[in-house]
Structure 1
Amino acid sequence: MPKVTFDGVSVAVAVDHLPEPKVLLQDVSLELTEARVGVIGANGSGKSTLLRLVNGLVQPSEGHVAVDGQDTVRAVRSVRRAVGFVFTDPLSQLVMPTGREDVELSLRRTARNGAERRRLADAALDRFGLLPLADQSIYELSGGERQLLALAAVLAVDPAVLVLDEPSTLLDLRNRELLRRTLTGLDQQIIMSTHDLDLVLGMDRVLVIDQGAVVFDGQAATAVAFYRELCLAGLETPGPGPR
């Protein structure tokens, strides 16, 4: 199983109206070797920043991130060949007019022969039940179909690590279950952020992120219980309305 390492990682960005950089992630040190790693936390907590560090979409302001010893800044090309990334919004990564063309595009480096690319693309699409939709415009597909298409395109090149940023957000119940079963059967190491606490319960290890810090790191059920308490802390019970 691959090893993803965070060594004293912080991320800060300049914001026009603030005198100091905004800290998105603070002093994270982790060694991720489990097959299934979940990441949960509130919106704006730093989950997406953590995930985008894994394939070099975000660079650390301090510290280092490595995938199997390859630094995500100095060896970004090698890292991106090893790490597939699926965005929350599939239109962020679907660039071709149709699903088949998009999957074939992802295969251009590994399959130089056009007929071979077509065969591999069709197999990737068929895996998700998308082959009947292969030649439709991506804008004619539902949000869930686009998300599954984005996943198919990433898996077509067989990355060692699969990073998913809230992949179930646009999925209905049927496609969410298809996603769960697909992830369960994959050989890749999976690092996934999600608000779907049922989905994260199937992970080997779960990180809870709050205000840019890892505040819990452990078993899935315990992590979910910790996160529920964190979310409820400080909430006031609404009183009766005016009479």
Structure 2
Amino acid sequence: MPSPLPDDSSITLTDASFAVAGRQILGGLTLHLTEQRIGIIGRNGSGKSTFLRLVAGLIAPTTGSVKVGGLAPASDRKAMLARIGILFQNPDHQIIFPTVGEELAFGLRQQGLDKAAATVQVQALLARHGRSHWVAQPVTALSQGQRHFLCLLAVLAMQPGTILLDEPFAGLDLPTQARLDRTLASLPQRLILITHDPKALAGYDRVIWLEDGRLRADGPVGPIVAQFTDEMTRLGDVDADTDLTL
């Protein structure tokens, strides 16, 4: 397992809530996150992706506070570039430049590197991952799995202390999933992973179960995943959608 992160990398939510147009999506979350590998589980609509966006600073809490290394991510976005990276489920929601090299250089330029220095770092990053030939390729020439890996490389280029992962294996074939899994397992960064697959949390230190935007359970992976699996099985047996209204 990678070495522990510095003490100033902790993530703290204090009675944090988030609402849109009067509808509460997350409510009253108080958490102190220091572990290297943290899983987030819950049904669709439970607030998992909103939780990641809150930690990343893409949205600000409606009430309460979120701090990353003592800083508020939503109000100190520049400082977050070296602290928090996020990998979305759909790479096409993340990629904004036409070529691989431009996409990878963008974050580095945001961190203050000039064009020449960013280019050198991009070339070195691609070489480390055996993809030097990608640098001038149009993003549209990449497969879905390759675009997903490009987004991960763009995050890694900025060397954040924590990487937030929103269902990173969704839509990938099995060989691509295996390659991505090996890459993620080798990273020294803290990983916070949203997943619907409890098996993806093997070896993780902690799991957080969200339900209706609130904390249902928090603790060691084994017992909480067992509880979650039992509950999902129970809901499936009684027809999980009968509680929805038109």
Task: Give me the TM-score of the superposition, normalised by structure 2.
Answer: 0.86
Would the aligned equivalents of 1:56 and 1:80 in 2 still touch at CA under 8 Å?
Answer: no
DSSP 3-state at the match of 2:106: helix
Aligned ranges 1:48-127 → 2 under 5 Å: 48-110=49-111, 112-127=113-128
Give, in angstroms, the shift of residue 210 of structure 1: 1.3
Give, in angstroms, the shift of residue 129 of structure 1: 4.1
The 1:115–1:75 alpha-carbon spacing in structure 2 relative to 1, beyond 3 Å, is closer
Query: Partner letter of residue 169 of structure 1?
Result: A
Query: Partner letter of residue 188 of structure 2?
Result: D
The 1:116–1:205 alpha-carbon spacing in structure 2 relative to 1, beyond 3 Å, is same
Would the aligned equivalents of 2:78 and 2:111 in 1 still touch at CA under 8 Å?
Answer: no
Give, in angstroms, the shift of residue 9 of structure 1: 0.9
Segments of structure 2 that go 5 or more residues without pairing to the other structure are 240-246
Give, in angstroms, the shift of residue 111 of structure 1: 6.3
The 1:132–1:174 alpha-carbon spacing in structure 2 relative to 1, beyond 3 Å, is farther
Give, in angstroms, the shift of residue 237 of structure 1: 6.9
The 1:216–1:165 alpha-carbon spacing in structure 2 relative to 1, beyond 3 Å, is same
Segments of structure 1 that go 5 or more residues without pairing to the other structure are 15-20, 239-243
Aligned partner of 1:213 in structure 2 is 214
Query: Partner letter of residue 46 of structure 1?
Result: G
Partner Cα separation in structure 2 for residue 220 and residue 118 of structure 1: 41
Aligned partner of 1:12 in structure 2 is 19
Would the aligned equivalents of 1:45 and 1:212 in 2 still touch at CA under 8 Å?
Answer: yes
Higher helix share: 2
Aligned partner of 1:142 in structure 2 is 143
Give, in angstroms, the shift of residue 148 of structure 1: 0.6
Partner Cα separation in structure 1 for residue 57 and residue 11 of structure 2: 12
Aligned partner of 1:182 in structure 2 is 183
The number of equivalent residue pairs is: 232
Give the percent of matched residue pairs that are identical in Structure 1 and Structure 2.
36
Would the aligned equivalents of 1:100 and 1:125 in 2 still touch at CA under 8 Å?
Answer: no
Aligned partner of 2:45 in structure 1 is 44
Aligned partner of 1:17 in structure 2 is none
Partner Cα separation in structure 1 for residue 57 and residue 238 of structure 2: 43
Query: Partner letter of residue 9 of structure 1?
Result: A
Alignment deviations for residues 205-240 of structure 1 (CA, whole Å, 9 cap, x no partner): 1111111112111122222212211212243379xx
